[in-house]
Structure 1
């Protein structure tokens, strides 16, 4: 049997497909399992032993459909469920099952602040699309395979090599990020050295944080590659992070995680830390929250209480315990 699993984006959503792929391959050992995604997210499945072939989305849908037809799949597991995947299934005529997005319930929950979406993790929602093949959730964490052999002494100063807390300060949208002054306050009270992780877009934020905290904090934002950043979170004593891809990838290593939520909420997306033994969800109940499903460039009401009013002490106590 030849199976194609589809998920085109984004980083966090794709990382949560890995248990489905693993279960398909392990529970259907004679099956050939392929995965298709956008080229930008290829790295998530690089080195993954449960994928027999990785296909990449082509510039046109026609080219992508031609690639899929050429493979001669027996079944498609659609974990994206959008117009593009609907057209792929229609034009290839391959038997399929599809992840149910609960779009209407999510829209109502967001618009009226009603809690209508059942608190079921995205992995479990995805698994339902594979159940028709007789596959069941194995209850194991997500998978991520580091690409190279990295060394702490080449990535961190000597002061941080014997133990550190990784603080993922990057996130695509402003309303997912904690203000610098709160990050500074938390870092000052953490007992271990701190490594800041993120892309070039938050390098200046990191520079401002270390200017206020000194050598205790090392700014790796914009310096380490994604693979190096994943290696660092895998070696951290504890992790603090926002609703962003690197924080979700960190779940693969079962390190204690503080998952910080601002304008978005984990239950709406179903992306709270998965199969991690030691977790603190740091957020605050507000009438205006959630203000969006994926994050915004600014607080719609201007006060940004969802991040500013989060209790710092609970984070400090969790990290120092």
Structure 2
């Protein structure tokens, strides 16, 4: 039995799809599970024990490319002649996300009704947001009733991988850092202010507890602002690591302080002590699925607004979260 899962585009959502993969593997222990995902998500999927292979999706965020999706679906069908896919689970709700399984000729194509995907899906679920408030629950419910406890995401990272990335980046191998993830791809309404990160860095840094900043190339400037404001208390690694390397660095962290971002979910799946900062988004929808995660938020009347930028212009939901609200949750 071969199963194709069409993954979300966002890194955090990809982590939150792992409970679905775990349940699929529990129901079909001998099944081969392959995941169609963007190239930037491939390192995550390689760290999931349930995934047997990744099929790279070449499409950018929001890209339609009907004919290219048709060609990719036909290639999958041709390459599966000896062992064809029997089921496809389409996690994104977009119409275009269901095209590849359709053109691949996979007989059972399951997903949410989404953008009126009549014909593209053979089994269309209607979403009950009150029954499944969390995104991870919504993904997992595509295969049937949920268990009492949803499996947690678990990413693999070995000591050999962790040591190798530190040597590559010239980082001390014995220290236990506190890692800050100051970026958020979605927008500034999800980013704790740089001056708060800087204040926290000054208060907790020590020879045995360095503060490292992780993020993508888009977060380099934010990282530099934190370094400058903290008087050099933090080391800016934003833009210097691949996602693979970030996974292995986070796996060694004493603790992680992060916005609601993809790296927040990575830290949760690695089981690290975690302080998750929420502003415009909601922990009801995308909480870190970890028993050692602490959610810090203000519960203002105007939040969650789910906007990329504060519509009121003040960002009180994050400006008002002081370092004192965070430091009490960090291990001493």
Do they fold alike, i.e. is TM over 0.5?
yes
Matches of 2:113 and 2:254, distance apart in 1: 36
Q: Which position in structure 2 is the counterpart of 1:174?
A: 188
Out of 225, 233, 241, the position equivalent to 1:216 is 233
Residues 150 and 234 (structure 1), Cα distance of their counterparts in 2 relative to 1, 3 Å cut: closer
Q: Which position in structure 1 is the counterpart of 2:96?
A: 84
1:155 aligns with 2:163: no
Q: Which position in structure 2 is the counterpart of 1:200?
A: 217
Q: Which position in structure 1 is the counterpart of 2:326?
A: 315
The DSSP-based 3-state class of the residue aligned with 1:149 is helix
More helix by share: 1
Report if aligned partners of 1:178, 1:307 keep a CA contact under 8 Å in 2: yes
Matches of 2:94 and 2:199, distance apart in 1: 42
The DSSP-based 3-state class of the residue aligned with 2:93 is coil
Q: Which position in structure 1 is the counterpart of 2:41?
A: 41
Out of 263, 271, 282, the position equivalent to 2:286 is 271
1:142 aligns with 2:153: yes
* Structure 1, 205-214 or 6-15: larger mean CA deviation: 205-214
The DSSP-based 3-state class of the residue aligned with 1:98 is strand
Where does the alignment leave 5 or more consecutive residues of structure 1 unmatched?
104-115
- TM-score using structure 1 length: 0.82
Q: Which position in structure 2 is the counterpart of 1:108?
A: none
Q: Which position in structure 2 is the counterpart of 1:56?
A: 56
The DSSP-based 3-state class of the residue aligned with 1:170 is coil
Per-residue deviation, 1:36 = 0.9
- TM-score using structure 2 length: 0.79
The DSSP-based 3-state class of the residue aligned with 1:318 is coil
Report if aligned partners of 2:48, 2:155 keep a CA contact under 8 Å in 1: yes
Per-residue deviation, 1:120 = 3.5
Where does the alignment leave 5 or more consecutive residues of structure 2 unmatched?
60-67, 117-128
Would you say how many aligned residue pairs link Structure 1 and Structure 2?
300
Residues 204 and 53 (structure 1), Cα distance of their counterparts in 2 relative to 1, 3 Å cut: closer
The DSSP-based 3-state class of the residue aligned with 2:230 is helix
Matches of 2:33 and 2:171, distance apart in 1: 42
Matches of 2:75 and 2:139, distance apart in 1: 24
Q: Which position in structure 2 is the counterpart of 1:94?
A: 107
The DSSP-based 3-state class of the residue aligned with 1:236 is coil
